Amino acid sequence: MRLAFTKMHGCGNNYIYFNCFDQTIPEPEALSIRLSEPHFGIGGDGIILISPSDKADAQMRIFNADGSEGKMCGNGIRCVGKYLYDNGMVGERTTVTIDTLSGVKTLELFTENGKMVTARVDMGVAILAPRNIPAAFDGEHVIDAPLVVDEKVYHITCVSMGNPHCVVFTDEKVATLDLARIGPKFEHNPLFPERVNTEFVNVNPDGSLQMRVWERGSGETWACGTGACAVGVAAVLNGHAQKNQDITVHLRGGDLTIRYTDETVFMTGAATTVFEGEIEL
């Protein structure tokens, strides 16, 4: 069996995309583990399936590098929008809808010379109630709450943007953190029954945010769109930023712009096609 694929990334968050309008992908969980491996596979943070939907222009399913299925991927959804537009699957429309396990998301596409360059995604309402994140904390929200991890006290803010996030503002330089050691201790903490994505953040003098992320199921990635949204929301909740204003989040793979309003969270960023190919299974 030969499968056609497209390698794409949003700010370095790179996935292997399969057009499932034209082909069927067998055992996506196992396939994601196999293909994400950089030495014996294609290499990436996982695979994303682009399929027909009866309530949107397309459906997106995300499988992480460990085979687990994710509910939402902010960088991935921009790439899906680019794939649909660049391949003529939505005509010349610059407003498209994508069906995800976190609901239908709307994208505004910005194009040049017939190709999508950037997209603004309506990511939906930020979820703060611990029971809905889920996170095993009491109360209506978790904002700047102390959490002991590996005998050290961190102050965390918990947000769900379709995926659970634990945001840590720190004075330590995030660039030098030993994320491979610290990240799994957050991911597998029993307070997070579905595991958690963890963002470590510095507030820069100009008000922008420097972020590194440990993603459940994938480890450290160069970017996380839902994570950047969670960081923007957490920055407002902790007094580091204002609602209804653009917040620049610097990730290892590039910048995202986040705007937190009373109604929703908007994320704007680029999407890039790396190459297309076929793989024989």
Active site amino acids: 73, 224
Angle at 87 between CA 81 and CA 89, to 5 degrees: 70
Alpha carbons within 13 angstroms on the beta-carbon side of residue 37 total: 8
Contact 36, 67 (CB under 8 A): no
Q: Which residues contact 257 (CB under 8 A, 6 or more apart)?
A: 246, 247, 248, 249, 267, 268, 269
CB atoms within 10 A of CB 42: 18
Identify the residue whose tokens are 């056609």: 4
Rg (CA), the chain: 18
Burial class (CB in 10 A: 0-12, 13-18, 19+), 255: middle
Burial class (CB in 10 A: 0-12, 13-18, 19+), 251: buried
